[in-house]
């Protein structure tokens, strides 16, 4: 698997994390990001660390997808920033015994493990 495909997999699997919260609300991460950008008060919403760090990580991974040869360091930084949110989602799924949440974060974690096992492919 090429570095570009690994980065695409990391990006897609991060967007498919699933969340549920009070009042019967639920959604995937990509849906919540869409709602965030639709809001009028975007500057206030983006200043929260649990929004800014993962979003920055996604942008870093997205930029590395379009590079001719994605760098290992840039991808690792993107993974680190995204992992803050995804690992929290994973932990919430385990502690809440919610298999949907737990299983939705698992593909990202598997992709991260795959990246670190195949990091020799990167320059």
The CA distance from 31 to 15, in Å, is 9
Residue 15's nearest CA partner among 35, 1, 31 is 31
Q: pTM score, two decimals?
A: 0.85
Per-residue model confidence (pLDDT) at position 63: 92
Write the pLDDT tens digit of every residue in 28-81: 988 888 888 777 676 666 666 677 888 899 999 999 988 887 788 889 999 999
pLDDT number for residue 76: 92
Query: Which residues does 30 contact at the CB level (< 8 Å), separation at least 6?
Result: 15, 16
Q: Is the dihedral of CA 115, 118, 121, 123 positive or negative?
A: positive
């Amino acid at each position: 698997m090429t570095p570009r495909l690994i980065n695409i997999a990391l990006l897609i699997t991060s967007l498919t994390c699933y969340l549920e919260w009070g009042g019967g609300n639920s959604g995937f991460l990509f849906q919540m990001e869409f709602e965030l950008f639709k809001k009028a008060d975007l500057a206030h919403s983006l200043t929260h660390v649990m929004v800014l760090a993962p979003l920055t990580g996604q942008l870093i991974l997205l930029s590395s997808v379009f590079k001719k040869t994605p760098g290992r360091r840039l991808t690792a930084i993107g993974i680190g920033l995204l992992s803050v949110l995804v690992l929290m989602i994973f932990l919430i799924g385990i502690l809440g015994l919610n298999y949907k949440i737990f299983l939705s974060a698992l593909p990202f974690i598997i992709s991260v493990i795959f990246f670190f096992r195949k990091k020799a492919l990167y320059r």
